[in-house]
Amino acid sequence: MLIKERVVRIEAAVGLNSSERLTGIFIAGRIPTRRVWMMLALRSAVAFGLLLSIAGAMALAGGRNVFAASAIALVGAAILARVPGDLLARALWGGSNITNAMLIQRLPPFAVYPLFALMPLTQALAELPLYFGYVVPRLRAQSMDGHSADRRCAVGSTHVPLVPARLTL
């Protein structure tokens, strides 16, 4: 009975969706792993569908000045991606910083400092051959000048669905 009262107090203190409570439930097996994976897959599918709809709308809009439309779509996509997540985090956990604490754990300092040099280096070594060896030549072949092709590649693969369909590779 004492344990049950303590559980009730913990639930009241930290909330039903707190990381402390959910960790215990997950370890006990009351939250199936397949439900967690389904949630992650559904989240990715919804985001992909949103990006496809934006890309389709931009392809239907046409026109040669795609930079202005891409910039507007980028701002709109950023707002659509950020605001619902913040509101949901506030509703579930009382703040958007709680989710960061659940996902990102602390690293020891000896592991952090080398990352300042290694992360940009590995990013560049992984992406430069792809961008300048594969993507840029194909963009230049589509009668684009080299500078605009380089700028499009600088945006990164995150926003590829925002590029109009006639510019796809």
Torsional sign, CA 152, 157, 162, 168: positive
Query: Rounded to whole angstroms, how far apart are CA atoms 31 and 33?
Result: 6
Q: Identify the pLDDT of residue 151.
A: 56
Q: Identify the pLDDT of residue 108.
A: 78
CB 77 within 8 A of CB 51: yes
Instruction: Write the CB contacts of 21 (distance below 8 Å, at least 6 apart in sequence).
Output: 10, 11, 14, 15
Global model pTM greater than 0.95: no
Domain boundaries, the chain: 32-167
Query: Rounded to whole angstroms, how far apart are CA atoms 25 and 41?
Result: 21
Q: Identify the pLDDT of residue 92.
A: 80
Task: Choose among 69, 74, 68: nearest CA to 58.
Answer: 69
Low-confidence ranges of the chain (pLDDT < 50): 165-169
Q: Identify the pLDDT of residue 166.
A: 47
